[in-house]
Amino acid sequence: MSFTVSLYLDLAPKTDSFSEEVIEGLSRSQKTLPSKFFYDGRGSQLFDQICELEEYYPTRTELRILSEHMPEILEALGQSAILIEYGSGTSTKTRLLLDNLTDADSYVPIDISREHLIAASEHIQKSYPHLTVLPVCADYSQRIPLNLNPTPGSRITVFFPGSTIGNFRTDKAVEFLSRLCSIVGPGGGVLIGVDLVKDVDILKAAYDDALGVTALFNQNILMHINARMAGCFDPDMFAHRAIWNEEEQRIEMHLESRDRQTVELGDTVISFNKGETILTEYSHKYTLESFASLADQAGFTVDHVWTDPDRLFSVQYLTAVTPGRNGREQQPS
């Protein structure tokens, strides 16, 4: 029996928007590319490979936390009729929840890679035929009009695993969490993966693995741009760099130009000096205290925190309060 899933919403960025963001980022003094553009079909596959690497601790550590603490997590979630997952990918971690979350009647996976999203959604629908699967192809860093209505007495829960919250600058992380607060509504919750501050050597190895898969993943963003913009990037002319920024408490991924060169993107020509870099990703790391402060600014309280014995990673359950300015209920002056 085949299972075909149609998109609930298709809000994938248009080609013009994609091109504008690329050109704008590459025109800055510190050239940048949005990390969301990693995730074409090949980029999503490479990221799945990264998650299986020995050096990349977040995935296996988070899975271990979810598995070992599932009874407590289910108790915290309560009756969740609608489960939304941002950046769903292959939905591997979601299966742990769906295997146990018997109250869920709808699953809303959100991902920017349409091909990857539909394939993963069809696998989920096949595994859970009782579940209504409503895939949304969108850039989840933007506001998404989901228009979901949970049944009376139930709640909406957002699942945001993988420490992806660390990819946002602090102000943008607050904005994003504030939007989640509005989506789940008062009493709704977010189950979120949060990577913790740790030994720098562990961090550097996780983002610059010995097999070079992360380097291929980083370089693939250039191939994605070539395909979308008729560009002529040569990925081999850019070296992968993973740098720890102590002041900002984050890993930064860069692509460093190996020589002076120019790259044509349609009618636009971008020049690079030897050693000049493109910043492709932030990955902020938090203490439990600093993340609690961040969540508070967005309108959440941290109800539960689960960590591994080495405190490499955390899974946290946040409960929403009435949103207002920055996601918080506004108090009368």
Mind listing the pLDDT tens digit for each residue in 78-123? 888 899 998 766 667 888 899 988 888 899 999 888 888 888 899 9
Structure confidence at residue 195 (pLDDT) = 98
Q: Which residue has the tokens 């599932």?
A: 70
Give the separation between CA 122 and CA 4, rounded to whole angstroms. 6
Give the separation between CA 292 and CA 183, rounded to whole angstroms. 20
Structure confidence at residue 325 (pLDDT) = 41
How high does pLDDT run on average in the chain? 90
DSSP-derived secondary structure letter, 137? E
Averaged pLDDT, 272-281: 98
Beta strands, E only, 33-79: none
Is residue 2 over pLDDT 80?
no
Confidence class for position 203, pLDDT limits 50, 70, 90: very high
Cβ 186 vs Cβ 12: under 8 Å = no
Range among 4-18, 117-131, 231-245 rated most confident: 231-245
Report the b/e string of 263-302 with b at 16+ CB within 10 A: bebeeeebebeeebbbbbbbbbbbebebbbebbbbbbbeb
pLDDT above 70 covers what percent of the chain? 94
Averaged pLDDT, 247-263: 97
Structure confidence at residue 305 (pLDDT) = 98
Structure confidence at residue 264 (pLDDT) = 95
Confidence class for position 269, pLDDT limits 50, 70, 90: very high
Give the separation between CA 132 and CA 148, rounded to whole angstroms. 12
Give the separation between CA 102 and CA 104, rounded to whole angstroms. 6
Structure confidence at residue 6 (pLDDT) = 79
Helix (H, G, I), strand (E, B), or coil: what is residue 269? strand
Find, among 73, 26, 57, the residue nearest to 198 by Cα.
Answer: 57
Give the full edge-to-edge strand order of the sheet including 31-32.
31-32, 277-284, 250-257, 238-245
DSSP-derived secondary structure letter, 146? -
Give residue-wise pLDDT tens across range 285-332: 999 999 999 999 999 999 999 999 999 999 999 999 865 444 443 332
Structure confidence at residue 15 (pLDDT) = 66
Averaged pLDDT, 47-57: 94
Range among 14-18, 255-259, 326-330 rated most confident: 255-259
Beta strands, E only, the chain: 9-11, 31-32, 80-86, 106-111, 132-133, 136-138, 155-160, 189-195, 238-245, 250-257, 261-265, 268-272, 277-284, 300-307, 313-320
103 or 60, greater pLDDT? 60
Averaged pLDDT, 188-205: 96
Q: Which residue has the tokens 């609608």?
A: 82
pTM of the model: 0.88
Give the separation between CA 62 and CA 144, rounded to whole angstroms. 27
Q: Which residue has the tokens 């913790």?
A: 196
**81-95, 133-147, 252-266, 278-292: segment of lowest average pLDDT:** 81-95
